[in-house]
Amino acid sequence: MNNLRSRLAATPYLAWMIIFMVVPLALIVVFAFTTTVPCDAEGNILTDEEAYLIQEEETLIWEEQGTPEEERVSAVSEKTIFTVQNILEVNKYMPTMLSSIWMALVATVICLLIGYPLAYMISRMHFVSQKMMLMLVMLPMWMNFLLRTYAWMTLLERNGLINRFLGLFGVGPFNMINTQGAVILGMIYNYLPFMILPLYSVMTKIENTTIEAAQDLGANRLTVMWRVVVPLSVPGINSGITAVFIPSVSTFIISRMLGGGTNMLIGDLIDLQFLGNAYNPNLGSAISLVLMVFILLCMSITNAFDMEDKEGGMLL
C-alpha cells in the first residue's frame, strides 16, 4: 500500500525525467551516430555531386516541359543513415577538447585550494559570523553571470582598470585579456561559490569535539587537518569538484568574453555546430557525447575516492 503510494507520488517526477532528460539524451546519441545523405528513388545513397547532377538534370527537364511547381517531385531525397563518421571527426577537435579539460581542471584545483581553507574557517566561526560569511560568498551570485564576466573584461582590458592603475607606477601595461589565464580566472571567479558551499555544509557537521579528540591524542593543527578534517570532508570535496569542473569544462560565454575567440573551449565548438555558421547538429551531438564520456570518466575517478572511504565503513 505504502509502496504503491510512493510509486504514484514518484510518477510525475519520473515522467519529467523521461521527457526532459532521458529522451533528449537518447536524441543526442541518435544524432551523434547518424547523418543525412541524399539518395535516389530506389534508396541508393548518392554522393553530393551525383545528387547535384541529377537535380540539375531534373530542373532542366521540368523547365522544358513547363511542369508546374507543385508537380515537380525530385527523384533525389534525403535519408538518415548510421555512421561513426561524426565520432571520428571529433578527433579533429581533440586539442580543443584536451585544452578545455586542462583549463577546467586548473580552475577546479585552484577553486579547491582557495575554497577549502575558507570553508573550514567559516565552519569554525561563531554562528552569526558564519551566516555573514556565507552571505558574502553568495552575494556575487545574485548578480547576472554575464554582467560579472563583463566586469572582468573592463578590469583586464589593455586600457582596463588594472593596467591603468599599474600605469600610475610605471608598470605595464600587461596583456591580460584574451589569454588562457583570463579564461581560467573567469571560471574561478564564477564557480568558486559552488566549491565553497558543499565543502562548508559537510564541514559544519564535523563536531568540535572530534577535532579536540584528535588534538587530545597528540595531533597538531596540521595532523588534525590531514587525518581528520580532510577524510571527513571527502564527500564535500567530491561535490565541490563536480560542481566546478562540469560547468567550467562546458562553458562558452567565459571563453568568448575573456578568451577573445582565440582560446576556444569545447563549449564554443558545440555552440558553433548548433547556432553558429558551421551548422552541423550531428557533429555537435558527437562532440557533446564524447565530452560526456570524458566527464563521466573524471567523475568516476573522484567517486572512487569516495567509495574507498565507504568500504572503511563510513556512513554519511
Partner 1 sequence: MDKNKIIELKGIFKEYNGEQVLKGIDLDIHDKEFVTFLGPSGCGKTTTLRIIGGFVTPDSGDVLFNGRRVNDVPPYKRAVNTVFQKYALFPHLNVYENVAFGLRLKKEKESVIAAKVAEMLDLVNLRGFEKRSVSLLSGGQQQRVAIARALCNEPKVLLLDEPLGALDLQLRKEMQIELKKIQQRLEITFIYVTHDQEEALTMSDTVVVMNGGVIQQIGTPQDIYNEPVNAFVAKFIGESNILPGIMHEDYKVEFAGDNFECVDKGFRHLEPVDVVIRPEDITICPPSDKVINGLVESVLFKGVHYEIMVRAYSDLWKIHSTKAPEVGSVVGIDFTPEDIHIMRKMESSEDYAALEHLNEQRAGTGEEAGTVE
Selected from 54, 121, 219, 225, the binder of partner 1 by CB under 8 A is 219
Sequence letter at residue 305: F
Minimal distance, residue 220 CB to partner 1, in Å:
6
Span from 110-118, 175-183, 228-236, 288-296 in contact with partner 1 (CB under 8 A): 228-236
Distance CA 114, CA 117 (A): 6
**Residue 209, interface with partner 1 (CB under 8 A)?**
yes
In the complex with partner 1, the residue whose CB is nearer, 235 or 284, is 235
CB of 312 to partner 1, least distance (A): 6
One of 103, 228, 246, 286 touching partner 1 (CB under 8 A) = 228
Please tell me the distance from the alpha carbon of residue 87 to that of residue 288, in angstroms, as a whole number: 10
Place of cell 577546479: 108
DSSP string, 210-225: HHHHHHHTT--HHHHI
d(CA 56, CA 46): 14
**E-assigned strand segments in the chain:** 34-39, 77-82
Q: Could you tell me which stretch among 93-101, 155-163, 221-229, 239-247 binds partner 1 (CB under 8 A)?
A: 221-229
Instruction: Name residue 20's amino acid.
Output: F
Q: Are 111 and 105 in contact (CB under 8 A)?
A: no
Contact 130, 122 (CB under 8 A): yes
Q: Which is nearer to partner 1, 5 or 126 (CB)?
A: 126
Question: By CB under 8 A, is residue 43 in contact with partner 1?
Answer: no
Which of 10, 212, 300, 301: binder of partner 1 (CB under 8 A)? 212
Residue ranges binding partner 1 (CB under 8 A): 207, 209-210, 212-220, 223, 227-228, 231-232, 309, 312-316
